Structure 1
Amino acid sequence: MDYDYVIVGAGSAGCVLANRLSEDPGVSVALVEAGGKDDKLEIRMPAGFSKLFKTDYDWNYTTAKQSELSGRELYWPRGRVLGGSSSLNAQMWVRGCQRDYDQWGIPGWAYDDVLPYFNRAERRVGSNRGGVYGGDGPLYISELRSPNVTTAAFLLACEELGYPRLAELNGRAHDGYSPTPVTQNRGRRWSSADAYLRPALPRPNLSVITGVTVERVTFDGRRATGVEHSGGAPIRARREVVLAAGAIGSPYLLMRSGVGAADELRAAGVPVVHELPEVGKNLQDHLSAGVVVECRRPVTLSKAESVANLLRYLVLRSGMLTTNVGEAVAFIRTSPEEPAPDIELIFAPGPFVDHGLTPPTGHAITVGVVLLQPDSRGRVGLNGPDVVIDPGYLTAEPDVRRLVEGLKAAKQVFATTAMKPYAGGPMAPYWGPESDEELARWVRERAETLYHPAGSCRMGADDGSVVDPALRVRGVEGLRVVDASVMPTLNRGHTHAPAVMIGEKGADLIKAART
């Protein structure tokens, strides 16, 4: 099978690429995805995402033991389905702020360069104060249809604490609090597959190949020629192979294909095609701890899975099952020296512990605390044919301090007058740590991923970077990486939005190379 472009991974960026590249009827495009169709109810129903964890829709990764997290191995869900992680996530559309992109220092990737690509993607439903959002893109951005009563109390608590209210969350600066904008259309998840892939499926020049695991990129010398996969004969690319397999899959495939640190490749039994030592390095993730307290009133999501709520969702597209769980956010600075918010507080009107995999024992509410700009760095590596994920959490001391300060801020939220009718005592496993030492122990014993790995195929203008500013893999031809793995540093937000932006801009860069 021969195509002009072979895209690996039908996730947040891959679906964008498939749509934009196939707009030209004169080129042929293959989109290759290891997972299957995204037709399960729990994908469509916003509150159902945790039901997809550790199923066939999930890569179900486990990290290496983390020395600074009590030696724990952490569970990392990643989407293995059309739409990728945009079919499993909490639908939060949070771009980050201007500084996030300006700090990359890469020509063509400053905030003002990438803003048009965010706007191209967005179709804002409802208010659009200040023209922050795009208005006619394919990706619906809306408010929650049925926010919980405790979420309104959280927003009042933020006001009581003196945080500024954001007119719209996704502006140039985002110090302050806001309800969460979500990728939903009339109470239904709206993934990258919904926005980009489904409208493109009727095109005869687009082939979507599911249930096929790509094993490596093939080369003729140093030119990428296609991919080998689990489904039979190789798929050949006349023009380019584009990896959009995410912060784990893309560096893993590069290394399995012979592009990476030579010593590591040889140790894994992989012939070296091109030595590129930074492949898999610079891995970053948003680490999160939380404060969980009992709710004095039976109004939370703990009883959301009732027959009545299911019928309300199926018939009216409203009610508790339209929740994304993270219903409101506040971006704060733990010290005046921080140039931008370094902590995100996420409010959940339920006990969000253990990734939602453990059924709640009662009514509770949660303020999650997210470290936005970790100093720690990890890696994606090889152990023979297997992938090694070592995020290196908390290996840089400032990360612990910032999370401790964030937990103090979360505790202040629950101490406000606005939260008094709802916030009770600690709910297990949270045990109410008070001192800095106790809070640090809570972080080390219970912190988990917020599902935002990035950076492992770092983009840069320097020769040591994995990809150049046009997203071309250095030292080889006909091969690009277009996903969140190219981000030099994490955004102070969530990674679905920048992954879509990278897909939009990457498509333009690929098209420009044809002319």
Structure 2
Amino acid sequence: MKEEFDYVVVGAGTAGCVLANRLTEDPDVRVLVLEAGASRIPAEVDDPTAWHRLLDGRIDWKHRSVPQPGLNGRITHEPRGRAPGGSSNLYLMMHVWGHPSDYDNWAHQGAAGWSYREVRPYFERLATRPAADAGQGGPNPASEAFLDACAERGFPRAADFNEGVMSGAGWHRLDIADGRRRGALASYLEPALGRPNLTLRTSAQTIGLTVIGDTCVGVEYLQRPEPPEATGRQVRDTHAEHPRPGVHQVRATREVIVAGGAIESPKLLMLSGIGNPDRLRAQGTAVKVGLPGVGENFHNHVLTAVMTESRTAVPAPRQNLSESALFTSSVPGLTGPDLQLAFVHAPFDPAVGERHPNTVSILPGVVRPASRGWIRLAHGDALAKPLVNPNYLADRSDLERLVQGVKLARDIIGTSAFSPWNKQELWPGPTVTTDADLRAFVRRTADSYHHHGGSCRMGTDDMSVVDPQLRVYGVRGLRVADASVMPAVPSGNCHSAVLMIAERAADLVKAEPLPAYLRKGTSYA
């Protein structure tokens, strides 16, 4: 291996940007970040109202699910970011920590050190944006009407979803400043790119981990030419030129940290011989470490939409199009909310929007899903996309709770407070009346909430992939730090939780003593 760095970070997404920043705070540490996406960032990334135009575009991996039995066999689009900044370029900019019980449950399931009390300082480290009602230009009046309608239905006002009792209706805190998106690219990666000890390589897709004996000593990656047709502002490392196109190897003298996200991270482990031994052998992959949990436990929040044409002209888009929400529980007595109803002052479905542009939407979502799916290799080709199975609505409780969320959204739309914005219901529509009708509607329309996680689960049991320090079982010098390590996705928009994981991962890495094999001066060819 001709090149050496102390740390190699695979992926410049949300977690990778944090790691790049925090690890290079030590000027004596050399960090390489490999990003499969190109260096140019579309202008729409900076516009908080334009997120929907980025989905399925050139900075989206464009993953598709396998046919979903719970959705009548439909194939769903599963967006994941492919550019510096990753999925933080695509997300809706809600700054939601999740409920304290989310993290206490992680600790109860074996993730010692990840209770709410222990992770809260990392959330507090994040830059907290003001609530939407204090944002530039003020909130959309339809968003205010939604909150008034929730109050009319008896729901309490939540002053801050991240403090105190999460349940209730309130304004989102938004990762927006001066009218621009403040994702991981702007907040973490770009401020660090001036450091001489950070090297970023774009259009560089990691295709394998180099494991010798029981130690990960580096990675293999494919360097592509930068696409000449790409437009937008460029994110470029000023300290090193890109290598020539082709396959390259690089050594990590301390650790490799995989931060590819809940779809790409398990794929890379499996490609490298870390996973379910029987499946790896069946595809002709040599088994390095048998970890049957790799790719399992994959899950996602699931949502649908209730849309109504408005009597009142809906003002032009503001902020992120979704400033307010309701968090509530499907039954009394739960430790935290399992339903989220996000208000969007725009049509959720583009086809409906073409016919009825003056439309607003409520998005009921199940944010503590019981259904679990998987990520698996389609075959041994490192550049092939993996098989993605969120297994939506496989558990009956997810279906029934989503139906309940649709009923609740209809109740809110039917209030006097919301009447100026309710001319006629477009989705599900007046012909959908019975529970059977609603179940059929939900199966026909439910979709990804874009909150993937769980596929390299943290814990201590036989199906865990990483330990509570995020170290991959059975392999020295290798960690995973992204949404894939979550035992369960938190009950809210999970971008802030990914930032928290990466902040804590950086501290764990910094606290790790120099490996014994490195102290001894062992050389790996």
Q: TM-score, normalised by structure 1?
A: 0.90
Quickly say closer, same or farther: Cα 1:48–1:473, change in 2 above 3 A. same
Distance 2:513 2:434 in 1: 60
Whole-angstrom distance in 2 between the partners of 1:368 and 1:433: 17
Question: Is 1:271 aligned with 2:286?
Answer: yes
AA partner of residue 414 (structure 1): I
Matched, 1:186 2:162: no
Q: Distance in 1 between matches of 2:330 and 2:149?
A: 18
Amino acid aligned to 2:250: I
Residue pair 1:4, 1:237 contacting (<8 A) in 2 also: yes
Partner of 2:435: 436
Q: Which of residues 65, 68, 73 in structure 1 aligns to 2:67?
A: 65
Task: Check conservation: 1:114, 1:501, Cα contact below 8 A.
Answer: yes
Q: Counterpart of 2:218?
A: 226
2:302 pairs, out of 287, 308, 318, with 287
1:378 equivalent in alignment to 2:373: yes
CA contact (8 A) 1:102 1:109 kept: yes
Partner Cα distance (1:123, 1:294) in 2: 34
* 2:343 aligned counterpart, secondary structure: strand
Query: Quick one: which amino acid aligns to residue 286 of structure 1?
Result: H
Provide the C-alpha distance between the structure 2 equivalents of 1:341 and 1:382, rounded to a whole number of angstroms. 34
Q: Distance in 1 between matches of 2:192 and 2:215?
A: 29
Task: Report the count of equivalent residues.
Answer: 482
Equivalent position amino acid for 1:421 in 2? P
Work out whether 1:421 is the aligned partner of 2:403: no
Pick closer, same or farther for the CA change 1:360–1:278 going to 2, 3 Å.
farther
Match status 1:53 vs 2:55: yes
Partner of 2:325: 329
1:110 aligns with 2:110: no
- Distance in 2 separating the partners of 1:48 and 1:278: 37
The CA RMSD measured in Å over matched residues stands at 1.8
Q: Give the 5 Å matches for 1:77-88.
A: 77-88=79-90
Distance 1:212 1:358 in 2: 38
1:334-355: per-residue Cα shift (whole Å, max 9, x none)?
A: 211433211000001111125x
Structure 1 residue 266, shift from structure 2 partner: 1.5
CA positional deviation for 1:428: 5.7
Give 1:317's aligned residue: none
User: How far, CA to CA, are the matches of 2:66 and 2:196 in structure 1?
Assistant: 43
The 2-side partners of 1:432 and 1:198 are apart by 51
Matched residue, 2:362? 367
Q: For 1:316-363, what per-residue CA distance to the aligned partner results, in whole angstroms no more than 9, with x for missing partners?
A: xxxx3x421222110011211433211000001111125x99756421
Report the counterpart of residue 455 of structure 2 in structure 1.
Answer: 456
Question: Aligned residue for 1:311?
Answer: none
Residue 488 (structure 1) aligns with:
487
How far apart in 1 are the matches of 2:420 and 2:53? Answer: 31
CA contact (8 A) 2:129 2:175 kept: no
Mapped contact 2:347–2:353 kept (Cα < 8 A)? no
CA contact (8 A) 2:131 2:174 kept: no
CA distance in structure 2 between the partners assigned to 1:79 and 1:493 by the alignment = 19
Residue number among 153, 159, 163 corresponding to 2:155 in the alignment: 163
Deviations 1:213-242 (A, max 9, x none): 111111112211111111132121111110
Q: Distance in 1 between matches of 2:466 and 2:348?
A: 37
Which residue of 2 is the match for residue 212 of structure 1? 204
**What amino acid is aligned across from residue 114 of structure 2 in structure 1?**
W
The percent of aligned pairs where both chains have the same amino acid is 41
Which one-letter code corresponds to 1:427 in the other structure?
L
Q: Does 221-230 or 368-377 show the bigger shift?
A: 221-230
Q: Is the 1:143–1:181 Cα contact (8 Å) retained in structure 2?
A: no
For residues 358-397 of structure 1, what are the alpha-carbon distances to aligned partners after superposition, in whole Å with 9 as ceiling and x for unaligned?
Answer: 7564211100001011111000001203400011111111
**Alignment-mate amino acid for residue 90 of structure 1:** L
CA distance in 1, matches of 2:469, 2:352: 40
In 2 relative to 1, CA 357–197 (structure 1 residues): closer, same or farther, beyond 3 Å?
farther
TM, length-normalised to structure 2? 0.89
Aligned equivalents of 2:306 and 2:163: distance in 1? 28
SS at match of 1:2: strand
Deviation of residue 271 (structure 1)? 1.0
Distance 1:142 1:392, change over 3 A: farther
Between 1:144-153 and 1:237-246, the stretch displaced more is 144-153
| Partner Cα distance (1:496, 1:71) in 2 | 29
CA contact (8 A) 1:97 1:172 kept: no
Report the Cα offset of residue 126 of structure 1.
7.2
Aligned to 1:396: 395
Alignment of 1:342-357 (within 5 A): 342-353=338-349
Name the residue aligned to 1:467: 466
Counterpart code for 1:261: N
Q: Which of 30-39 and 441-450 deviates more?
A: 30-39
Tell me what 2:499 maps to.
500
CA offset at residue 165 of structure 1? 0.6
Task: Please report how far the alpha carbon of residue 430 of structure 1 lies from its aligned counterpart in structure 2 after TM superposition.
Answer: 5.0
Asked if the contact 1:295–1:424 (Cα under 8 Å) also holds between the matched residues in 2, the reply is yes
- CA distance in structure 2 between the partners assigned to 1:196 and 1:80 by the alignment: 17
Question: How far 1:172 moved relative to its partner?
Answer: 4.3
Question: After the TM superposition, which of the residue ranges 421-430 and 385-394 deviates more from structure 2?
Answer: 421-430
- Counterparts of 1:388 and 1:57 in 2: how far apart (Å)? 20
Please give the per-residue CA displacement for 1:164-185, whole angstroms capped at 9, x wherever unaligned: 1111121243010111111011
Aligned to 2:226: none
